[in-house]
Amino acid sequence: MTDDVLVVHGGTPLEGRIRVRGAKNLVSKAMVAALLGDSPSRLFDVPKIRDVEVVRGLLGLHGVKVTDGTEDGELVFDPANVESASTDQINVHAGSSRIPILFCGPLLHRLGHAFIPDLGGCHIGPRPIDFHLQALREFGATVDKRPEGLHLSAPNGLHGTKFALPYPSVGATEQVLLTAVMAEGVTELRNAAVEPEIIDLICILQKMGAIIKVHTDRVIEIQGVPKLHGYTHRPIPDRIEAASWAAAALATRGHVEVLGAQQADMMTFLNIFRSVGGEYEVTDARPPKLGDPGQEGGIRFWHPGGELNAVALETDVHPGFMTDWQQPLVVALTQARGLSIVHETVYEQRLGYTEALNSMGANIQVYRDCLGGTPCRFGRRNFKHSAVIAGPSKLHAADLVIPDLRAGFSHLIAALAAEGTSRVYGVDLINRGYEDFEAKLADLGAHAERP
């Protein structure tokens, strides 16, 4: 574990410019979608993160030829020779990603069968795959549970269905989309997730030849087609990474410009950021012209000086405040005067990281009660899913162990904002979702190094 640690010398404001690439929560799904085409697909602006490596490996195991394109961050997928992969090979990837569940629909269409290993991911709650399996059964798949995982088949093919999700799960919505596009007949999905990454995935599938209508009130209608072709696509930027760097700028009293960040997909975050007392400016792209290389647009975030304000917020599905935004922002809220309240309504065990912040001098209490007005699935259950943050608190250095991806970045922000030298263990987990984060820290003037 000694090589999986970052020594962080805190107390220096982050200053400078970094760039975010394609959204982690879209890119991996776009890669899976390439399985459905009968011709090659091209995906641009792909970040160099571990989740991409995992999906690239899984595609390779199933006979998809994945090559680097001519542009930095471009991947080309050739699905001409899709084949079965051995259980042992797939199990090599078990525990490193939850993406294998989304291979099911495309593989059932291409091969007639699929296998899902025991699934990993971040330890923030069970994230049951029941929604996925129920959806696949509705399409006509059979599921055989075995010790090594789940074996699926579709002896009579896949057929359109009417389906209502009990909760607008992003993963289950992706599952239905990737399965329904080539299922015979019409599929109607109610209570669907409508996150920007979902809409971008729909755009990709539409480019491939799918017929998908997005109605009001979270209803998506898919007309199955007999075949799809490849796509060429540049994904939306990663709004989670952009917000994480924004929170880091606020917590360290710095000034960070995030190139590639888009206002439209971050409006809810930007409202809270300004309410807390942070400032931002949306910078438009400047096209290249003679003697001027131009510049990509983005958003500049900074701490304007003075005190920050306490706020009350609830996480929710889109267009609400993203659950992945709350951990980085909570570090900044430890520096706000008064009592801030965070009600987590998406994942039931996502506040465990606050213990580490308390060890650094923060004053955060977690509660089982729903401290907010949004109806919450976790009310009257034994989950500590609300937090009260009393501030401002002077943070001091500590040894920290990263429990999951987003909490890991919040630990990193806390170490940067604290006085003294912290040791952050398990930092390689951050590579799952943040491209070149150590190089970006250096670009922003942070004092951090591997021992």
- For the annotated catalytic residues, the residue numbers are 122
Is 382 annotated as ligand-binding? no
Distance CA(404)–CA(427), nearest Å, equals: 10
Residue 308 is classified by DSSP as E
Structure-token pair, residue 26: 């879209």
Distance CA(242)–CA(25), nearest Å, equals: 13
Is 24 annotated as ligand-binding? yes
Closest among 371, 304, 309 to 339, alpha carbons compared: 309
Torsion sign over Cα 30, 33, 35, 40: negative
Is 25 annotated as ligand-binding? yes
Structure-token pair, residue 147: 């010790």
Distance CA(193)–CA(322), nearest Å, equals: 13
Half-sphere CA count of 60, side-chain side, radius 13 A: 11
Q: Do residues 397 and 10 lie in contact, with contact meaning Cβ atoms separated by under 8 Å?
A: yes
Distance CA(99)–CA(51), nearest Å, equals: 8
Is 98 annotated as ligand-binding? yes
Phi, psi of 266 (to 5 degrees): -120, 15
CB proximity list for 39: less than 8 A, separation 6 or greater: 229, 230
Residue 70 is classified by DSSP as S
Distance CA(354)–CA(329), nearest Å, equals: 12
Cα separation values, 45 from 58, 122, 395, Å: 20, 24, 36
Is 346 annotated as ligand-binding? yes
Helix 323-333 and helix 267-276, axial crossing angle in degrees, nearest 10: 10
Q: Alpha helices, DSSP H only, in 69-195?
A: 87-91, 104-110, 130-139, 170-180
- State the binding site for UDP-N-acetyl-alpha-D-glucosamine: 98, 324, 346
- State the binding site: 24-25, 98, 324, 346
- State the binding site for phosphoenolpyruvate: 24-25
